[in-house]
Amino acid sequence: MNFTLGRMKPYSTRGVLYVLLVVLSVVFTMATALSVADFLKILFGEGDAAAVPSVNLVSRWLDGLYAWLISFGRLNALLLFSVIIFVLYSLKNVFGYLAAVQIATIRTRVVRDVRNSLFRKAMRLPMGYYDRNRKGDVLSRFSSDMIEYDESILGSVQALLSSIITMVLYLAMLVYLNVKLTLFVLCMLPLIALVIAGLSRRLRKRSQAVQEMNSRLISMTDETIGGVKVIKAYTAIDFSNHRFREFNRDYASRRTAMFRRIDAASPVSEFLGTVIVIGILLFGSWLVMGGDNGLTADLFISYVMLFVLMIPPAKELSTGFSQIKKGHACVDRIEAFLAEKEEDSQVKSFELRVKSSDGAAVELQHVSFAYTEGVPVLKDICLSVPRGTTLALVGASGSGKSTIADLVCRFYDPQEGMVLLGGVPVRSMPLAELRRRIAVVAQDTLLFNDSVAANIAFGCPDATPEQIEQAARAAQAHDFIMQLAEGYDTNLGEGGSLLSGGQRQRISIARALLRNPELLILDEATSALDTESERLLQQTLDSVLQGRSAIVIAHRLSTIRNADSIAVLDHGTVVERGTHDELMALGGRYADLVKLQTL
């Protein structure tokens, strides 16, 4: 509850107003119930005000109301009483509505704040977190966990707060009306509490297991839909259906078992409440017939009505505690996610003296890195990219080419050695500043469900239409963009689904060129292009890269012939370094790769 109370603290003023409005709503409800005694006396004509003993303030107030009403005659008194009841009930509903508006505002804003915190955390988590965790598990924090938090925790807090206020006021009035009868009621309450506690036992653990299964279900669904082409191609539809069906059946059975316990709280508490009502009727009737001067027949009727009105909030109270027990699992998951260590964006101070090469844009000094301890990906890498030159990285898949790009962008930090940008260690630079100086065209092109112009200007919100068009022309994208239905205003669909692979890649290259970065990283930038498009784009890149610092990662060796320097990686180490002609003359690993691609 500390997590939720902390999130509700900024809205404490609304909370106080909510409590006040609930109190007013309950007060008018009680006034309506207490007035019933006078209605019965007027209806049946049982005596007059003087004949009824006044034992307390409530009784005297009711006597006074009865005397005033009956002075107008019995028929007129009934009409006046109807108007009073109508006014009291209307005020009760008005205050109840205003209270609901206040708590709804608090509830929606708390959900908004928590969801904002989750998204902010997701953006600040290191890439290693996403390597270790399923995407569906992260998505479930925003979907099912937030729905569960809203319904089970915030909804229950609302119900508990309203129920507690209502029950306290009702109990106070019941005590005032008759202490003996109320003590009888209070003796029965611990029995209800023990029964509800028994039903709620182990509910938190069961709910946590269900939430974990739900995140796995989302992951399985996301993975299956994303790979539906492969599933169809390998005729694995029946296998996928069977796997999903089995897991979904287990998930459903666990949810059913959990809800059995939750749903049992309401009828059990209602049954026990009915038992207490019967007890009150018997004990209260005995007091009235025994001549107890603290309880008259009409006051006893009002007492019973107040107690019956107290049963629904008591029922909500028991259900609310069960729901909170259930909802604690999603709170634990949300808190665990928010407690994850963020990407280190702070400036670091280094005692190590940096010796950078003169004029180097990027340097890797004795860099070693491993995603998993004991399984090195890069081993003692020493590379430099002089300003205004292009370094090409080639090698077999898994040799560490893309990892070098990730280290330069500081998606990861090396276990040993240092990466420098412009002679400054990247770990001593704020992340925002570092990444503003770099533009990346990744192997897996990511476009957003937005217009062409918005995708090119992503990260550069102040870009003018002229600048966007200039970047598109440089990436050989302008011509096909103008052939789209709405040109630069055409929406590209989910993931740029309306474009071909080559077109998506050129949009991505235009996005990078628009930033005019200090360092341009092309990670298989031409991999999705056909031969003709690759040739045209390569001509553009050759002109764009003139005088620009760049790292180009390529499997197609024909695209990096003009690079100023080529580094050949093999199993995480640099085995060759030189220009295209120098490496071909060497007749080593690079020459073998060129010959293989030529064949």
pLDDT tens by residue, 496-537: 778 877 788 888 888 888 888 889 998 876 665 666 766 766
Q: What is the pLDDT of residue 222?
A: 76
Cα end-to-end distance, the chain, whole Å: 67
- Residue 286 counted as domain residue: yes
3-class secondary-structure state, position 56: coil
What are the CA-CA distances from residue 480 to residues 7, 70, 451, 473, 526 (Å)?
50, 89, 14, 10, 17
**Residue 92 belongs to a domain:** no
The rounded distance, in Å, linking the Cα atoms of 410 and 345 is: 10
Task: Give the angle subtended at the CA of 141 by the CAs of 135 and 146, to the nearest 5°.
Answer: 150
Strands 360-369, 378-386: parallel, antiparallel or unpaired by DSSP? antiparallel
Phi, psi of 562 (to 5 degrees): -90, 5
Same domain membership, residue 312 and residue 222? yes
Q: Are both 485 and 591 inside the same structural domain? A: yes
Identify the pLDDT of residue 29. Answer: 86
On the 0-12 / 13-18 / 19+ scale of CB atoms within 10 A, 584 is middle
In a domain, 164, yes or no: no
Is residue 370 domain-shared with residue 509, that is, in the same domain? yes
Q: Which residue ranges of the chain lie beneath pLDDT 50?
A: 47-54, 349-354
* Predicted pLDDT of residue 566: 93
One domain, residues 366 and 278: no
- Asked if residue 202 is part of any domain, the answer here is yes
Structural domain for 558, as ranges: 360-598
Token pair in block for residue 36: 């019933």
How many domains is the chain built from? 2
Q: In the prediction, which pLDDT does 279 show?
A: 81
Cα–Cα nearest to 163, from 91, 89, 99:
99
Q: Are residues 309 and 403 in the same domain?
A: no
Q: What is the pLDDT of residue 368?
A: 94
Contact criterion met (CB below 8 Å) for 35 and 84: yes
Q: Output Rg (C-alpha) for the chain, integer angstroms.
A: 37
479 plus 427 within the same structural domain = yes
Same domain, 370 and 330: no
Q: Is residue 533 part of a domain?
A: yes
Reduce the DSSP state of residue 586 to 3 states and report it.
helix
Same domain, 218 and 182: yes
Q: What is the CATH number of the domain that holds 494?
A: 3.40.50.300
Residue 67 lies in a domain: no
d(CA 472, CA 450): 16
Q: What is the pLDDT of residue 103?
A: 92
Whether 63 is covered by a domain: the verdict is no
Q: Are residues 214 and 283 in the same domain?
A: yes
101-149 pLDDT, tens digit per residue, is: 999 999 999 999 999 999 999 888 888 888 888 777 888 888 888 888 8
Which residue pairs from 524-532 have beta carbons closer than 8 angstroms and sit at least 24 positions apart in sequence?
Answer: 524/442, 524/443, 524/553, 524/554, 524/555, 525/441, 525/552, 526/554, 526/556, 526/559, 527/443, 527/555, 527/556, 528/445, 528/501, 528/502, 528/504, 529/501, 529/502, 529/505, 530/502
Inside any domain, residue 218: yes
Looking at the fold, whether 328 and 426 belong to one and the same domain comes out as: no
Residues 61, 64, 66, 69, CA torsion sign: negative
Rounded Cα distance, 524 and 501, in Å? 13
Residues 382 and 527 in one domain: yes
- For position 266, which CATH number holds? 1.20.1560.10
Q: Is 438 found in the same domain as 289?
A: no
